[in-house]
Amino acid sequence: MDKQPEDKQPEYTQTENVAEKPRKRGCAGHCLKFWWAYLIAVIVIVVIVVPVVILVGVPKIAQQKLDHAELILDSIVMTNARAQNFTMSINTEIKSDGKVKATIEPFEGVMYLEDLPEHKPFAKVHFPETTSAKSQIINITQFTMIDDLDAFTTFNTWLLHNETFRVTVEGDTKVHVKGIARAYGVTFKKTIDMPGLRMLDGTTVTNTTVNATAPKGQNNFFGTVRIPNYSKVAFELGNTSFHNYLLDKEIGTVYLDNLSLKPGNDNVYPMRATIDDLGYVTGLAVQKPYCDKLNGVLPFKLRGKSVINHGESLSYFADALASGNQTVQIDIRGTVKRSMGFTLGCTDE
């Protein structure tokens, strides 16, 4: 047998199998040795982190939830209108995700036109206590002072002229989150799109009659007026009068007594008018194109003159109604036929 060379050593492969139990014992020992450091860490979390969450995180979350909530306007009703105040009822619904259980304190909010840069409040709303429920109906009825007559008149003017416009409700309040004793300051701010009156477009005058023998200065024209209200606002106006124009010539005054406009197309009222020159009206009705192509129908224009309710002048309504003209078509040929029994033709026939 040959002898192996002395400089060549046998090869070995070594595998170490480290057991887990000694490591666990080392971790437990480490914790036992440095228990005071872990205690300090817990104290730091309780003393610093938790207050930061309560003072910063919770208010931020509460404000975000309030910002994401939706305010839905169902109706506004204005009654008992006086020169400096009125009664306002607002019916709304607030919708949210309902994930944070909280209560919002009562607060006073202001209403202003969002698209006017100065954001001058035209009314104040006293909101009751509310919750963060997914859906909550809020009905408010309150006595409302008119603190800024110009701002309130501007609101009524925008409401009259526009098809839609934006109104913002804003106010500061406090929120109470369930399980936390502290109350947090938040801002309630919601902008809603409101449908307007569209200048009362679609107003009709029917069943018209004329009294040609009425004494001068007394009512001599009568009919039935139907006024559409495309908005969600109901008004108690009172006794309302309008300047009456025919081809840009003022011919008299139209009166609507005890006028109150509710949303919809069911605002039907008797109309009376004083026309200073009936001959001018019937004279146009027998001229072309009114006598032939338009069948005796004339375009009258109405512009607000006065609004009187409970013996007080309501300038905020009157000025809004005076801010523009509305054209109403009236069948003069039919009026004369019903009242006098004969038919108006054309003068050149």
Q: What is the pLDDT of residue 65?
A: 82
Mean pLDDT of the 9-35 span: 50
pLDDT in tens, 277-318: 999 999 999 999 999 999 999 999 999 999 999 999 999 999
Residue 321 burial (C-beta neighbours within 10 Å; 0-12, 13-18, 19+): buried
Give the rounded percent of residues in the chain with a pLDDT score beyond 70: 83
Q: What is the pLDDT of residue 42?
A: 57
Of 36-50, 54-68, 94-108, 242-256, which range is least confident? 36-50
pLDDT in tens, 49-101: 444 444 445 668 778 888 888 999 999 999 999 999 999 999 999 998 877 78
Residue 92 burial (C-beta neighbours within 10 Å; 0-12, 13-18, 19+): buried
Structure tokens at 191: 């902008």
Q: What is the pLDDT of residue 306?
A: 98
Average pLDDT, the chain: 87
Structure tokens at 101: 């259980």
Give the rounded percent of residues in the chain with a pLDDT score beyond 90: 71
Residues found in the chain: 349
User: Residue 72: what are its φ and ψ, rounded to 5°?
Assistant: -115, 125
What whole-number distance in Å separates Cα of residue 99 and Cα of residue 95?
Answer: 12
pLDDT in tens, 160-184: 999 999 999 999 999 888 877 788 8
pLDDT at 25 over 70: no
Q: What is the pLDDT of residue 183?
A: 87
Mean pLDDT of the 206-235 span: 96
pLDDT at 128 over 50: yes
Between these two residues, 346 and 9, which has the higher pLDDT value? 346
199: left (phi over 0), alpha (psi -120 to 50) or beta: left
Q: What is the pLDDT of residue 50?
A: 47
Of 135-139, 297-301, 327-331, which range is least confident? 135-139
3-state SS string for 261-315: ECCEEEEEEEEEEEECCHHHHHHHHCCCCCCCCCCCEEEEEEEEEEEEECCEECH
pLDDT band, very low/low/confident/very high, at 36 (cuts 50, 70, 90): low
pLDDT band, very low/low/confident/very high, at 257 (cuts 50, 70, 90): very high
Q: What is the pLDDT of residue 178?
A: 80
Per-residue CA distances from 92 to 88, 177, 195, 206 (Å): 13, 23, 15, 36
Of 25-39, 74-88, 256-270, which range is least confident? 25-39
Mean pLDDT of the 100-123 span: 93
Per-residue CA distances from 11 to 5, 310, 323, 335 (Å): 14, 117, 108, 127
Mean pLDDT of the 239-245 span: 98
All structural domains of the chain, each given as residue ranges with its CATH number in brackets, are 65-196 (2.60.40), 199-340 (2.60.40)
3-class secondary structure, 234: strand
pLDDT at 142 over 60: yes
pLDDT at 188 over 90: yes
